[in-house]
Amino acid sequence: MSLRIVVTVKYVPDATGDRHFAKDLTVDRDDVDGLLSELDEYAVEQALQIAENADDAEVTVLTVGPEDAKDALRKALSMGADKAIHVEDDDLHGTDVMGTSLVLAKAIEKAGYDLVISGMASTDGTAGVVPALLAERLGVPQVTLLSEVSVEDGVVTGRRDGDTASEQLEAQLPAVVSVTDQSGEARYPSFKGIMAAKKKPVQAWDLSDLDIEAEEVGLEGAWTKVDSATERPARTAGTIVTDEGEGGKQLAEFLASQKFI
C-alpha cells in the first residue's frame, strides 16, 4: 500500500521585505510579498527523499493561508511533491497556534496520512510548537527536531542532535516528525519540475469542508491575545571609527561602554 506523506508548508512574509502590523495587531499580510518558509523546504526535501526510497509513496503538501499561499504550494510541487491542499477561509484571520493546528489536523485526517513532516519552526511566527500540537490532536507519536530521517517497514527513524548528545529515535507509523535545517540541502526546482507543477492538482478546502466552526479559529478562537506591538526603530548607520593610531583603544572603550568586556 502506498506510503502517504503529508508535508505542512507555511507561506510566510518575506523577511527581507518591509513588514508592518495591521490595526488589529496581526501581521499585515497584504502589504508584503510572501514565500514558502525556508525551513519548510527541508521538510519537503526529506519527504521527497523518503518517497524516492519507498516502493510506492505519495507526497501531499498542505498549507493553511490566504490566496497567495498557493505560491508556497507551487514551489513545493515544483520541487517534486505530487499534489497539494490549500485551506483558505476569511474566518481564519487572526488564528493562533491552537487554531492553526486544529485546521491542519482536520485537513490531514481528511486527506489521509501515514507520515506528517513539518519544519522545525516557521520563519515568521517561530513558535516551533505546531508539530507537537498536531501529534497531540491526531493522537499519534511525535518525533521532532530530526536532522536525519528515514522510513522502513512502517517505522520512522531519525536522529535528534542536542548540545551534549545525539539521540536515535523511532516511532511506529502513523506519526508526526519535524526536521531541522541540518537535515540536508533542499533541492532547487528544475525547469521540468516548474512546468509539471502547473498541472498538478491543488485541492481547495474551507472551514466548512473540515467541520470547523468560525468561533474555533480566528481572533475569537485564539488562546492568546496580542495586547500591544511596537515596531522596532530602523537600524542606524552606527559609529565609524577612523583608525589614526588610537583605533584599538577606541574599540575597547566602546565594547566596555556596552558591557561586552
Ligand X SMILES: Cc1cc2nc3c(=O)[nH]c(=O)nc-3n(C[C@H](O)[C@H](O)[C@H](O)COP(=O)(O)OP(=O)(O)OC[C@H]3O[C@@H](n4cnc5c(N)ncnc54)[C@H](O)[C@@H]3O)c2cc1C
Q: Which residues bind ligand X (CB under 6 A)?
A: 8-10, 26, 37, 39-40, 43, 63-66, 92-97, 100, 104, 118-119, 121-122, 125-131
Tell me the three cell numbers of residue 112: 489521509
How far apart are CB 133 and ligand X at their closest, in Å?
8
Strand order in the sheet with 166-172: 148-152, 155-161, 166-172
Residue with the three cell numbers 517561530: 126
- Cβ pair 77, 195 in contact under 8 A: no
**Residue (25 or 195) nearer to ligand X, CB:** 25
**Residue (129 or 241) nearer to ligand X, CB:** 129
Taking the C-alpha atoms of 62, 64, 70 and 76 in order, what is their torsion angle to the nearest 10 degrees? -30
How far apart are CB 153 and ligand X at their closest, in Å?
26
How far apart are CB 95 and ligand X at their closest, in Å?
5
Strand order in the sheet with 83-87: 142-146, 175-179, 115-119, 3-8, 57-64, 83-87, 202-205
Which residue number places its CB atom closest to ligand X?
125
How far apart are CB 55 and ligand X at their closest, in Å?
26
CA distance 192 to 44: 18
How far apart are CB 9 and ligand X at their closest, in Å?
6
**Residue (184 or 250) nearer to ligand X, CB:** 184
**Nearest Cα to 105, choosing from 243, 214, 35, 6?**
6
